[in-house]
Amino acid sequence: MTGFASAADRAAFIAALPKAELHLHIEGSLEPEMMFALAQRNGVRLAFDSIEAIRAAYEFSNLQDFLDIYYQGMAVLRCEQDFYDLTAAYLARAAADNVRHVEIFFDPQGHTERGLAFADVVGGIARALADAGARGISSRLIMCFLRHLSEADAEATLDQALPHLHLIHGVGLDSSEVGHPPDKFARVFARARGLGLKIVAHAGEEGPPDYVWQALDVLGVDRIDHGNRALEDDALVQRIVADGLTLTVCPLSNLKLCVVKQLAAHPLRRMLAAGLKATVNSDDPAYFGGYVSANFIAVADALDLERDEIITLARNSFTGSFLSPAEQAPHLAAIAALG
């Protein structure tokens, strides 16, 4: 074991590191216990008769298998308080993992198409983020467009967001990747950029390297979510490195969705060796088996990551965030103090 006396020693070091999380779908933090409780509170009938039955359903062979369950789970979220409770629960877990800054995604189309008010969705999430801010966890909120829906639907969602842009820092692109390339959404992302919003997109999780190129050249992303398959194209890797773009990598998600067959085969170390600015994130932790520290520990153990590599991942999480350099500085200093 490189640089650590034991796995417990490495886990303790990871626990002590300040971290930022840059790839977290708030709806994907809906734990079975909360799903069941909200279903009862809101009179929603689930396809499962117990918490155990929900957990048993969390076995996926690909992204679409997961999404089918993910959208079912959303049905229990019915009012502003539900979104507050969901977000507050995630933030409590993040705090326990020494996460000091979060940049979280939400999927308004998954809720407005069920008749919920956009204001209730964003209002509940933003209220919980504000409360966490008072306790020392800073945040940015990123609104994602569902790529299996049309660009016109995304445009309508951006219209709904206009009165709430003071709460929203960026826009992203998620949901079923294959068959829905980034260039499908070129116009709505150009419009979002014109509104001063940051741009991110899921690319290269299951989709080909060409989707990552499109995210760069068509959408003009400030950050790439996942990006695993970029490694298949040397010129693409060189471009991402040259542009200094961050990849928000999600190890346990990649394992659970069979993007990698085992964590020992995960490309995270190769990303770092290639000069890519990789980070570690939990994606949809309620479904994939772990929050940020669990992802760090699992992939660090599987790849036998060195202390310097783990420190680099933690540093990247802040320098790859949308915090200003002045806002990043105290976190980077805290990491350096542990190095």
From 21, 31, 103, 205, the catalytic residue = 205
Q: Is 111 annotated as a binding residue?
A: no
Give the DSSP letter of residue 249: E
Q: Is 202 annotated as a binding residue?
A: yes
Q: Is 180 annotated as a binding residue?
A: no
**Residue 205 annotated in active site:** yes
Exposure on the CB side of residue 233, measured as CA atoms within 13 A = 16
Q: Are 214 and 182 in contact (CB under 8 A)?
A: yes
Q: Which of 285, 232, 235, 277 is nearest to 255 (CA)?
A: 285
Match 């979280």 to its residue by tokens: 104
Find all residues with CB under 8 Å of 87, minimum gap 6, and list them: 26, 104, 124, 125, 128, 129
Q: How far apart are CA 278 and CA 208, in angstroms?
A: 19
Q: Is 23 annotated as a binding residue?
A: yes
Find all residues with CB under 8 Å of 243, minimum gap 6, and list them: 216
Q: In this structure, which long-range contacts are made by residues 114-119, counting pairs with CB atoms below 8 Å and at least 24 apart in sequence?
A: 114/74, 114/75, 116/77, 116/78, 116/79, 118/157, 118/160, 118/161, 118/164, 119/80, 119/163, 119/164
Q: Is 301 annotated as a binding residue?
A: no
Q: Which residues are annotated as a binding site?
A: 23, 25, 202, 283-284
Q: Which residues are catalytic?
A: 205
Q: Which residues are annotated as a binding site for Zn(2+)?
A: 23, 25, 202, 283
